[in-house]
Amino acid sequence: MINAVIAAVGTMLVLSLSRVHVVIAIIVGALVGGLTGGLGIDATLTAFNSGLGGGATVALSYALLGAFAVAIAKSGLAHALADKALLLVDRQETSGGSHVKWLLIGLLWAVAIASQNILPIHIAFIPLLVPPLLYVLTKLQLDRRLIACVMTFGLITPYMFLPVGFGNIFLNQILLANVAKSGVDISQVNVTHAMSLPALGMVVGLLVAVFVSYRKKRVYDLEKIERVEQVAVQYNPLTLLVAAWRSPRRSLSSCGWTR
């Protein structure tokens, strides 16, 4: 049994360090552990499914849509969007105005909402869309805390209020299901109406962040941004681990981690 657990965890670690999608790594690790423990394919799948509680079974299906996000990253669409936004920023600097700022804020807000209710890939869009836009956000002198508040609103409020996508999992399969298990009659409960008050609080918080707390421009160091992007491109966990074992000083200096 211990050998099966070690095999399952080791498989997940190797796949994760190799940047295989985390859900696929979990499934493959579970299969390796079950087969190593002598359960067989049918018994392994049965144990895996029974171990998923609440709405996790449906959530796992949605999580696999992260592969779609990877396809977007490979297509170069995010970088093309950043290049287009940079051109708009250059035109704005010559003509004046702030339409690009509100366009980017609205874009990130809409994508965050879509990631919960329309194309439920959850936070998978953040490492694909945000890093290519960092340079553009810096040139616009947008406060990063404002961007964080906008994306947080889009990630949280839709699924806690709208019963679609992840909202269906949270409101109907988790929230209402747990209330029903407690013996409460939910036949007359309108879950959207019940969650309207906390959702309204999130709207107020967003408005305060956009128009009060973080509305002023903030200057960031463009050279540091470029350096971080360079390190992020070069960094690969599994490659760095092997290189550090062979030659620690050389592997770290190649990623810019030494002084």
- Report pLDDT digits (tens) over 191-207: 888 888 999 999 999 99
Structure tokens at 150: 């906008």
pLDDT in tens, 126-146: 877 787 788 788 888 888 899
**Torsion sign across C-alpha atoms 11, 235, 75, 129:** positive
Q: Nearest CA to 163 among 206, 106, 107, 120?
A: 120
Lowest-confidence range among 46-50, 168-172, 229-233?
A: 229-233
Give the position of tokens 């290189």: 243
Q: Which amino acid is at 146?
A: L
pLDDT cut 70: percent of the chain above it: 67
Q: Which amino acid is at 104?
A: L
What ranges do the domains of the chain cover?
A: 2-51, 68-213, 222-254
**DSSP character string of 105-155:** HHHHHHHHHHHHHTS--GGGGHHHHHHHHHHHHHHTT--HHHHHHHHHHHH
pLDDT in tens, 146-178: 999 999 999 889 888 888 877 887 887 778 888
What's the pTM value of the predicted model, to 2 decimals? 0.58
Phi first, then psi, for residue 221 (nearest 5°) are: -85, 115
> Which residues lie closer than 8 Å to 61 by C-beta, 6 or more apart?
none
Q: Tell me how far apart the alpha carbons of residues 143 and 78 are, in angstroms, rounded to a whole number.
A: 21
Measured CA to CA in angstroms, residue 92 lies from 79, 97, 99, 240 at distances of 20, 6, 8, 41
Averaged over 9-29, what is the pLDDT? Answer: 85
Cβ count within 10 A of residue 57: 12
The pLDDT mean for the chain works out to 75
